[in-house]
Structure 1
Amino acid sequence: MTTTPLAIVAGVGPGVGAAVARRFARDGFRVALVARDEARLADLAAQVTNAGGVAASYSADLSDHVEIRRVIAAILRDHGRPSVLVWNAAVWAESPVMALEADAFDRELRLGLTGAATAMRAVAPAMSAGGGTILATGGGLALVPQYGGAVPALTAVKSGLRGFVHAAAPEFAAMGIRLATVTIAGQVAPGGPFDPDRIAEAFFAAHAAPTAEVETVFSGA
C-alpha cells in the first residue's frame, strides 16, 4: 500500500462534499469518494485526476448501515488505512412535523446521524493504528434549533450529530483519533461568504490544526 494519506469523503454532493474532496486532493491526499450518484462521482474523480490528484469513487446508499460497512471495507481493502474521514451525508427536505412521514424521518436520521456513527466505528480500528481525523459536517440549526421549523428532521439530525460528536470525542481521542464537527452556520451558496471552497478550507484547517477542537463554527468570516 502507498504511504500517501487517504481521505474518505462520504456524502459527496455538488457543493461542500466536492469542495472538501478537491481541497484534500490538492494537499496530496488520495481521496475516496462515496455517494449514490455514480455520474457525479465519476465527474468529480475526473476533476481531481485532471488536476493532478488521485481519486477513486464508490457508489453506496449511506442511509443503509449494511451498505456503509460494505463500502468502508471495500475502501480499506483497496487503499489501506485512512487518515481522514469526512461525513457529509444529509438531506434538506422541507416538511412540517404533522406531515413528516415516519419512514422519511427514519431515513434522514440514518443518513445524517446513525449512519455517521456506523462509518466512524467502521474506520476507527484501521485509523487508530496511525492516528487520524474524523470530521462531521454540522449545521447552524444545531446551534439555533428554534429556527428549524421548515426542516424539523434535519434540525434533529444536526442537533443529534453535534451532541454525539461532543460526547464521543474523548473515546476516539483515547484511540488516537480526532473527532470533530465543522458547523456551517449559514446557507451554502457559491460566490458568497458560505462558498463551498471557503468551507472546505475550514475542514482542512480543522484536520491540520495542532490542537484538537471538538467543534469549529464556520460563520462565513
Structure 2
Amino acid sequence: MTQSKGPAIIIGYGPGVSGAVAEAFAKEGYPLALIARDTTKLDAAVTAFRASGIAARGFAADAGHATALTTALDAARDALGDAEVLVYNAALWRPGPVLATTPESFDADFQLCVTGALVAARALAPAMIAAGRGTLLFTGGGLALYPSPQAPSLSVGKAGIRALALMLAAELAPSGIRVGTVTIAGEVAAGTPFAPEKIADAFLALHRSPPDPATAEVVFRG
C-alpha cells in the first residue's frame, strides 16, 4: 500500500523562490501548508492552488515571533498531519552600512532569518525522527559566503542559517532526516539562470537525495 505523504510546510511563502518551491512539491503530490504574514496574498495563493486541484492551507504568522510561528505550525499539523517537508524561506533585506544598523533591528532580523528556523526545526523534527523520514530545507544566500556592508543583518542572517542547516544535517542524518540548504549566489530573476523554478529544482534535488552532511549545501550559481 502506498504511504500517503505528509504536508510540505513553506514558511515565508510569497512570490519568487518560495512560490516556485511550493509548486514543485505540489507536483510531487505533497499537500501544502503555507505560512506568511500577508493574509491577503496568502489567501490568494491558497485559492489558486486549490483551483489547480492541489490541497493547500494558509496560516498567518510572523516567522520572527516564536509564539506566533509555533501556533501556526500546531494549526498546520492539526489540519494536515505531521509535516514531511519543511522549507524555511523567511528573511528580510535591510540596507546598511553596518554602523547604521541598530541593535534592535539587528536582533529582529536575526529572529526572522535564523531563530524562526530553529523554532520550526524543533517543532517538526521530533515527528520526523519518530517516522524515520523527513526533510528540512533552508533558503540560503550568497551573502553567507560574501558578506556585504550594504546588507549587514541579512549577511549575518544567511551565515547563521547556513551554519544551522549544516549542524542539523550532521545531527539528524543518523535518524534518516535529510537537511539541506540552497545557497543562492546571485540575484533571483525570472528568465535568467537564477529563475525561481531553476532554484526550486535544486531544492527538490536535495529533498530526493539521501541524508548526508557532506552534501547538505548546494551553492546555486545559475
> Normalization by structure 1: what TM-score?
0.93
One-letter amino acid of the structure 2 residue matched with residue 58 of structure 1: F
- 8 Å CA contact 1:8–1:33 kept in 2: the answer is yes
Partner amino acid, structure 2, of 1:135 = L
1:138 — aligned with what? 140
Runs of 4+ in 1 over 3 A off after TM superposition: none
Shift of 1:79: 1.3
Residue 99 of structure 1: aligned partner: 100
Provide the residue aligned with 1:73 in structure 2: 74
| Aligned twin of 1:38 | 39
**How far is the alpha carbon of 1:157 from its aligned partner?**
0.5
Q: Secondary structure at the match of 2:130?
A: coil
RMSD between superposed Cα atoms in Å: 1.4
CA distance in 1, matches of 2:41, 2:65: 20
> Which one-letter code corresponds to 2:135 in the other structure?
T
CA contact (8 A) 2:73 2:123 kept: yes
Pairs aligned (count): 217
| Identity rate, percent | 43
- Tell me how far 1:194 sits from its aligned partner: 0.8
Deviations 1:103-124 (A, max 9, x none): 1111110001011011101101
Find the aligned partners of 1:26 and 1:168 in 2 and give their Cα distance. Answer: 27
2 CA distance for matches of 1:76 and 1:16? 24
Name the stretch that deviates more: 33-42 or 175-184: 175-184
Q: Deviations over 1:7-61 (max 9, x none)?
A: 0000012111111111111111101000000111112112222222111000001
8 Å CA contact 1:5–1:28 kept in 2: the answer is no
Deviation at 1:99, TM superposition (A): 1.3
Cα pair 2:179 2:211 within 8 Å, conserved: no
